Amino acid sequence: MKKIKTISIILVLCGLLFSNVYAKNIALFLHGFESVGQVWTDRGTTADFLESDGYGSAIVDDYLNFDYDIVDFQNTDSLFGELIAEMAEKDPYQQHKWIIVGHSLGGLFARGVESTLRGANFNIAAILTIGAPHLGAPVVLVDEHRAEELIGTWAATCKKGPDAGLHWLAKFLAPEEATKMSEYLDNAHDEGLGWLENAKNARDDLKPVNGRVIKNVQSASVKAPYHSIIGAERGPTIMRWTSELDNVKSCMGLSNNATEKDVMDKYKDIKTLYKTNWDLYNYDVNAQYLAMYCLPWRWLMKEYYIKASRLRDKANKWKQGYNAWRDLDNTWAEMIGAGSTYQKETLVYSPGYCIYGGGGTNPKILSDFETLFDVYNPCPRGETYVSGSWVRRTVSVKIARKNDGLIQTNMALWNESATLDDTYNPYYDDVMEDGGWNHSEMMRYTRVYPGEDTGKPGAEIETPLKANKGWMKDRLR
């Protein structure tokens, strides 16, 4: 009997020793809206969590990528049960430590399931959320008709220049870009509306304040230590985010291997094409007016005037397209509910104009160049000329709130009383020499493109996820 007790004690001790020796740290990765678990592996995040680097040992010994869909939140008992079953395969005796890493919607999932996992005796050491809309996602509230109007107006405005035709000198600049511009814009239009249609389907779950999932996570009791990583991307945010989205890169005629630099170079080329045509047509307009006023034959003035008007129309179309590309951030911010508008008073110059027939309708607006000749009568055949004047007007100014391309920074705070850059809500802004950070990029452990202002290789730039490695390792000790 004594021998049996001794053997039992030895077996128990060996069991405890065995348990301690083989206790692991495991990461549970939860992907975001309209994504899949494989995204963590594709972005290299899972591999980097497992590998040692200059910061010391690996963060975890193993990981689990869990797949789900937002519709699964309609039956959380079933959803959470599936997750527990998959975790039990990795940790059947609940002896390991787990850290939950959730991106976007996955961050809300992590927060909502934590108490259930604790109840199932899993050891949840920490929760790390990345760009998670804890306070709701205003993008789901965007009216689809307004969204279609915004995208349609933007695309139509951008098309005006190419439809007006390249200036003959600009044909040597980037004719291929101009001929394909309509195709790019049609693809971007369809892609943007398709994505927003999916976002609209999550309205009841993710709308601020009273979205079903938002209310649930805000009322959930989380006992594990947490960090909510929040980022803001440099403008134009949507263009930089495009470098992370293969289906959108194709809209611009780029391959899936295109980097952020490739995307930004394409964006700069497009703006240069528009600005160059705008300038060249403007030069032609001024040349026509100069010739008109220098020629002694008054009967030729009308011909020059008509030609100048046509050229000015082309210049204005390229100008409008350029402004649409330049102001893309404001348009996209309004699309995702991260834009705001304010009113301001300003002085606007109302140029002089000609009144045909001594008081008829359809006054002809003159160019800035023509107004230099206010002391003369620049109207053909002596028609009535009304001088230009400065007038005070109230105009609407649109600005984009800080966002990562999808979520504005304040919506990723853990709760309404939290502040950016406090202990629990580390904020990575867009003014750092290596920053900013878009919604997809923040889930990368290693940056894939160099810093624009530093020339550092991407691997040397500390991403928000890598910056939190020390915090995660401390929680897993």
Residue 107 near residue 130, CB atoms below 8 Å:
yes
CB-count burial class (<10 Å; 0-12, 13-18, 19+) for 15: exposed
Cα distance between residue 402 and residue 421, in whole Å = 15
Residue 155 near residue 186, CB atoms below 8 Å:
yes
Structure tokens at 121: 């005796």
- Unique residue bearing structure tokens 């220049």: 161
Cα distance between residue 430 and residue 437, in whole Å = 7
Sign (positive or negative) of CA dihedral 238, 240, 244, 245 = positive
DSSP conformation class of 408: B
Q: DSSP secondary structure string, 451-469?
A: -TTT---GGGS--HHHHTH
Cα distance between residue 56 and residue 69, in whole Å = 35
**At 418, phi and psi to the nearest 5?**
-75, 160
Domain positions in the chain: 339-400
Which helix (DSSP H) or strand (DSSP E) does residue 385 occupy?
Answer: strand 384-386
CB-count burial class (<10 Å; 0-12, 13-18, 19+) for 182: middle
The residue ranges of DSSP E strands in 304-369, in sequence order, are 339-350, 353-355, 364-365
Grouping H, G, I as helix, E, B as strand and the rest as coil, residue 49 is helix
Cα distance between residue 238 and residue 235, in whole Å = 8
State the pLDDT at residue 178: 55
Q: How many Å separate Cα 415 from the centre of its chain? A: 23
CA distances from 298 to 187, 358, 376 (A): 50, 19, 14
State in Å, rounded, how far the first CA of the chain is from the last one: 40
DSSP conformation class of 372: T
Structure tokens at 127: 């929760």
Cα distance between residue 323 and residue 222, in whole Å = 47
**At 353, phi and psi to the nearest 5?**
-150, 160
State the pLDDT at residue 110: 96
State the pLDDT at residue 356: 60
Q: Could you give the residue ranges of the DSSP H alpha helices within 327-385?
A: 328-335, 368-371
Per-position pLDDT tens, the chain of length 477: 555 555 555 544 444 444 444 689 999 999 998 889 999 998 889 988 988 765 557 899 999 999 998 888 889 999 999 999 999 999 999 999 999 999 999 999 999 999 999 999 999 999 999 999 999 999 888 877 887 788 888 888 888 888 888 888 877 665 565 556 666 666 666 666 666 777 777 888 999 989 999 999 999 999 999 999 999 998 888 888 877 777 667 767 788 788 888 888 888 888 888 999 999 999 998 888 777 777 665 556 677 778 888 898 999 999 999 999 898 888 888 888 888 877 778 777 777 777 765 444 444 544 544 444 444 455 665 566 677 778 888 877 778 889 998 899 999 999 999 999 999 999 999 887 777 899 988 999 888 888 777 778 888 888 999 999 999 999 998
State the pLDDT at residue 184: 65
233, amino acid identity: E
